[in-house]
Structure 1
Amino acid sequence: MKRIRRIRSVMTTDVARIASGTSFKAVAALLEERGVGGAPVVDKDGRVLGVVSRGDLLERNVEHHGIGPKARHGRHKAEALFAADLMTTPAITVSADDDVLRAAQLMESHRVHRLPVLESDGTLAGIVSRADLVRAYLRPDNEIREEVRDEVLRQEMCVDPSTLYVSVHDGVVSLDGTVERYSMIPVLKALVGRVDGVVEVKARLRAELDDRDIRPGEPAQGGLFPDRSIHRP
């Protein structure tokens, strides 16, 4: 299934790798040459030790006053001559087989723009940036619609796509129609929301069976429940 995209499918594999003994000037030259804002520092076995960014290099131009830990750390970086002292460590990393949503969440919570991506053995597989994640939203609307109909409705939910009206405009998916059970509605919305390129899901769905109050083992009563049907704007 391509519905849940793994980081492996969007990451950059041609990564600028920096050895811990790389000099300040060589680090600056590498970042400039590759046109990147940062790069992972790795050991001889390809394991990530940390990340050096342009911001780390610019610490040299900042005056760090005071005697607290933050000031001492800033002065240490400002005086650094090699990548081992310039880098930010430990690095925030993700697995190549993680969901792209995890990468987005980590970038947001740690306020970083890129993450080293690791193989299962801990070695560097690539790097994923915010730009890599944003590209998923550039999918054409017709591709999104077909994936919603074929993979989400038909394969995941076992729903005949012809029973629901699915439209997509600028990444906003609209669902209209009637499903078998009320409990299917939040599941359907969640699955559609995870499709690459989906910006928002608008569901105007009715349920033939309102199963919110049905306990396990209790026989379900069929029929329509107009007063309990759900309409989502």
Structure 2
Amino acid sequence: MKRGRQVRAVMTVDVAVVQPGMPVEAAAALLERRDVGGAPVVGEDGRVLGFVTRGDLPKRAGRRLGRWRKSAKAAEVMSTPPVTVGADDDLGRAARLMNARRVHRLPVLAADGTLAGLVSRGDLGRVFLRPDSEIRDEVRDEVLDRELCLDPASLDIAVRDGVVSLTGTVERNSVVPVIPVMLALVGRVDGVVAVKEHLRVGVDARTVLADEPAAGRVLG
């Protein structure tokens, strides 16, 4: 099976950047001029210090300023620590991180920790807006059958909105140690946002788990 596509393949490299000492008004004008919803706050060394969004700038500035009559700086109102992803990370990790942290954009870091680009939900959509049926076919044919030499009919594979659910009973001893590998490979399939497993250990496989109860248990 092909390796998961990397973030660098879809990220934007022409990124609007806000300096930490930039006044909030100037930062808001920059976002408006570039027609973007948010931008990373980057220090002189190229490292990402935080993130500001068009909607949060006036709101946070108002809370910060209160009755004071000075202009707030971007560093005072940015979200920190920033939620970032590596340029060499696979797109599945970026998608899961966006969902878990409920953000729409992620600064992308180069190997040295400096800003390399920005990836948005729209960027990921080019790869991750795949039909669930297409994802299911790849999980069945590429991961289970070709990569792991498992009988696809032994598991029930359901996919909904990119979330893969694997349900079934593991009957062979040799399959139990392979389960973590299987879940990792499924998670790397383009379009997969998350993987859920509901796998039970059958009679023939219980000897692998010393503390396995008689009725079996759900793995994971």
How far does residue 157 in structure 1 lie from its aligned partner after superposition? 0.7
1:213 equivalenced with 2:213 (yes/no): no
Structure having the higher Rg? 1
Q: Do 1:57 and 1:86's aligned partners in 2 also have CA atoms closer than 8 Å?
A: no
- What amino acid maps onto 2:18 in structure 1? I
**How far has the Cα of 1:152 moved from its partner?**
0.9
Contact 1:3 1:151 in 2 (8 A): no
1:93 pairs, out of 75, 84, 93, with 84
Unaligned 5+ segments in structure 2 are: none
Q: In structure 2, how many angstroms separate the alpha carbons of the residues matched to 1:174 and 1:107?
A: 20
Structure 1, unmatched stretches of 5+, are 65-73, 217-227
C-alpha offsets along residues 101-132 of structure 1, whole Å, 9 cap, x if unaligned? 54455445555432211011011111223444
Q: 1:148 — aligned with what?
A: 139
- Deviations for 1:18-45, whole angstroms, at most 9, x for unmatched residues? 2334343332222112222210122344
User: Distance in 2 between the 1:122 and 1:136 partners?
Assistant: 25
* Distance in 1 of aligned mates of 2:69 and 2:207: 63
Aligned partner of 2:113 in structure 1 is 122
Q: Deviations over 1:109-162 (max 9, x none)?
A: 555432211011011111223444455441145642553245313443134779
Q: How many equivalent pairs are there?
A: 210
1:113 maps to amino acid: H
Partner residue, 1:16: 16
Identical counterparts, % of pairs? 56
Relative to 1, partners in 2 of residues 1:59 and 1:98: Cα closer, same or farther, differing over 3 Å?
same
Local SS of the residue matching 1:211 = helix
User: Contact 1:210–1:229 at 8 Å: present in 2 too?
Assistant: no
1:195 aligns with 2:186: no
Map 1:173-184 to 2 at 5 A. 181=172, 183=176
- Deviates further, 113-122 or 179-188: 179-188
Alignment partner of 1:41: what SS?
A: strand
User: TM-score normalised to the size of structure 2?
Assistant: 0.64
The one-letter code matched in structure 2 to 1:152 is V
Q: CA deviation at 1:95?
A: 1.8
1:82 positional shift: 3.8
C-alpha contact 2:143 2:185 (8 A) present in aligned 1: yes
What corresponds to 1:58 in structure 2?
59
1:15 Cα deviation after fit: 1.4
Q: 1:32 to 1:175 in 2, by over 3 A?
A: same
